[in-house]
Amino acid sequence: MYNQTEIIKDTTDLGPEGELVINMGPQHPATHGVLHLVVTLNGETIKKIEPHLGYIHRSIEKMCESLTYRQFIYVTSRMDYLSSHINNLGCALLIEKGMQIEVPERAKYIRVILSELTRIASHELWLGAMAMDLGAFTPFFYTFREREMITEIMEETCGARLTMNYIVPGGVMYDIHPNFQKKVKAFIKQFKEKVTEFEDLVTNNVIFQSRTKGIGILSAEDAISFGCTGPVARASGVRCDIRKLYPYDVYDKVEFDEVIETAGDSFARYIVRVKEMNQSIRIIEQLIDSIPEGDFVGKTKNVLKLPKGEFYTRVETARGEFGVFIVSEGGTNPYRIKFRSPGFSNLSALNHMAAGSKIGDLMATMGTLDLVIPDIDR
Amino acid sequence: MSNEEIKEIISSTLPSATYDETGEWLNVIIDSKDWEKIAAECRNGALQMDFLFCLTCIDWKTHLTMVYHLTSTKHRHNIVVKANLDPAIAEIKSVCAIWRTAEFHEREVFEMFGVKFLNHPDLRKLILEDDFKGFPLRKDFEDPINMIKL
């Protein structure tokens, strides 16, 4: 039993047969943020991993209790900053559901296109960073080349590159930039040409395959029991894509496949994300030419008041199921708000997945979980 | 499975359970001491509620309410189970053994609301510092320095 803040020392006097306790993080390049793992080793084999959280805890749930329904949406951009657009969408959908606000078709199309662009950008960053964790430096530059195109589209239309804050209850904040469709098409063209480069560089790479295949296996039953969602659960064969199960906005009108792999190892998680990028491109292609004319935001009151009761919505972020649970007393701010973040549940499976493997394989397991620390700490 | 069928199955295990259907999903309100029995029935019985996707607590000033959102990946039905607790002696049985995701979520509720989970294998603070005093998500919590009020 360790205290959270205590730096753990190896006090065993057993020599080479004893346990070794290593503090990985909070300043470790492979944790991509301030995650602190206390790893208990027996030789090179991992016996136990204890995550220590809270280095970037801002108590967003408490903060949101004193913000109005128009304001609190923007705080959620600071949780999972790589899917900030989708987080905003989840909150907006909840308010629209609670107040029965009509959203114009044009806004729905724009939201879905931007959500899918966000998903591609997030997976691109993950791909580069994960390959770098495993020692391959080049993919990082290749993925950031495409990701830069998306951030430029975001900057032009939303005014920001990372924390977009573009979605408001009832639609979107502004209309899209006149160049939007042209630039998105240019991006799709480039992405389709270059996606084979990732396959040559990473997917078919023998070193990469031998470092990820059969590493960090998670079975389907465990994935459900640990509450894993998103690519992590889909790589274990669990159907959990919210876009398919509970479609929101225009996801019920577009055709796309839910990517399912059954191996449950790190390589399967990698494959799921790469295939998901192609599915996102497919969704954007179906929508980009048919954005309907009309309003980009529906009519809403200036002061939003959610009726008394409890509301829950879920959306599919790049990491999995993001849920918003609001308890309303009928006032202008939420009485209690809970964010069910996908990273928090996915992290809880780490000990189960990595126990028994070598410490070098922990990088592959943790890399393919795709953890974003502010999303876990909230 | 329809709400009526779910009610029937739960009532056969626990006749004292009450129901609320005003929200999106069926709410089952139970006594906190019956939770372990109902949890096992939901998970292993005919309902097959294998996915606990949200676990949280609400402070109503007079009492605390534990809220469990459950779904079945097989039948795709959702229920919400609620149990009221006394804030002075907030105790409820842990469900770590049934849904393993509860381990982290219960630790979070423990530090934020001060709810004690009986039989939890490792009930320590997860996000806050060890020497942190008070339960931040309770309504009576006051932090003189860091509190933002608009």
Looking at the partner chain, which of A4, A240, A311 has a beta carbon nearest the beta carbon of B130? A4
Q: Enumerate residues 6+ apart whose C-beta is below 8 A from A61.
A: A336, A337, A338, A339, A378, B137
Question: What's the domain count of chain A?
Answer: 2
DSSP string, A227-250: T--THHHHTTT----HHHHS--TT
Beta strands B78-85 and B26-31: pairing type? parallel
Structural fold of domain B3-90: Beta Polymerase; domain 2 (3.30.460)
Residue with tokens 């309770």: B138
Chain B residue nearest residue A309, CA to CA: B23
Phi, psi of A21 (to 5 degrees): -105, 125
Residue with tokens 């469990």: B68
Q: Does B136 touch chain A (CB under 8 A)?
A: yes
Q: Which of A69, A70, A225, A337 to mutate to test the interface with B (most CBs of B within 10 A)?
A: A225
Tell me the average pLDDT across B13-21. Answer: 80
Query: At which of A57, A79, A98 does a domain end?
Result: A57
Examine residue A119 and state whether it is found in any structural domain, yes or no.
Answer: yes
Q: Which two tokens stand for residue B109?
A: 């509720």
Per-residue pLDDT at B35: 85
Q: Does A5 touch chain B (CB under 8 A)?
A: yes
Q: How far apart (Å, rounded) are the C-alpha atoms in residues A130 and A125?
A: 8
State ipTM.
Answer: 0.88
pLDDT tens-digit readout, B44-92: 877 788 888 888 899 888 888 989 998 888 888 888 988 888 888 888 8
Residues A139 and A286 in one domain: yes
Q: Does A62 touch chain B (CB under 8 A)?
A: yes
Looking at the partner chain, which of B52, B127, B148 has a beta carbon nearest the beta carbon of A57? B127
Q: Is the pLDDT of residue B146 over 70?
A: no
Query: Domain holding A245: CATH number?
Result: 1.10.645.10
Q: Identify the burial level of B95 via C-beta atoms within 10 angstroms of its C-beta, where 0-12 means exposed, 13-18 middle and 19 or more buried.
A: buried
End-to-end CA distance of chain B: 45
Query: At which of A14, A35, A57 does a domain end?
Result: A57
Q: Does A43 touch chain B (CB under 8 A)?
A: no
Tell me the average pLDDT across B116-141. Answer: 85
Give how far B146 is from chain A: nearest CA, Å.
10
SS3 A337: strand
Q: Does A302 touch chain B (CB under 8 A)?
A: no
Q: Which residues of A touch B80 (CB under 8 A)?
A: 310
The per-type count for chain B, helices as H runs and strands as E runs, is: 3, 7
Per-residue pLDDT at A325: 92
Q: Which residues of B touch A53 (CB under 8 A)?
A: 126-127
Tens of pLDDT along chain A (378 residues) come to 566 556 555 555 555 556 778 888 787 777 777 888 888 888 788 888 888 888 888 888 888 888 888 888 888 888 888 888 899 999 999 998 888 888 888 888 988 999 999 999 999 898 888 888 888 888 888 888 888 989 999 888 888 888 888 888 888 888 888 888 888 999 999 888 888 888 788 888 888 888 888 888 888 888 888 989 989 999 998 888 888 888 888 888 888 888 888 888 889 999 999 889 889 999 998 888 888 888 888 888 888 888 888 899 989 998 889 999 999 888 888 888 999 989 898 888 888 888 888 888 888 888 888 888 888 888
Residues A89 and A164 in one domain: yes
pLDDT tens-digit readout, B23-42: 788 888 888 888 888 888 88
Examine residue A4 and state whether it is found in any structural domain, yes or no.
Answer: yes
Q: Which of B120, B127, B140, B149 to mutate to test the interface with A (most CBs of A within 10 A)?
A: B127
Query: At which of A11, A28, A57 does a domain end?
Result: A57
Residues A232 and A156 in one domain: yes
Measured in whole angstroms, how far is the alpha carbon of residue B149 from the centre of its chain? 28
Angle at which helix A105-133 crosses helix A180-198, to 10 degrees, equals 30
Residues A112 and A17 in one domain: no
Extended strands (E) in B9-124: 18-20, 26-31, 51-59, 64-71, 78-85, 91-93, 116-118
Phi, psi of B28 (to 5 degrees): -110, 120
SS3 B144: coil
Q: Which two tokens stand for residue A18?
A: 């004893």
- Cα-Cα-Cα-Cα torsion A342, B113, A27, B147, nearest 10 degrees, comes to 110
Chain B residue nearest residue A334, CA to CA: B58
Q: What is the mean pLDDT of chain B?
A: 84
In chain B, where the domains are located: 3-90
Extended strands (E) in chain A: 19-24, 36-42, 45-52, 167-168, 171-172, 309-316, 321-328, 336-340
Residues A20 and A88 in one domain: no
Taking a C-beta distance cutoff of 8 angstroms, is the pair A47, A41 a contact? Answer: yes
Can you give the residue range of the structural domain that contains A50?
1-57
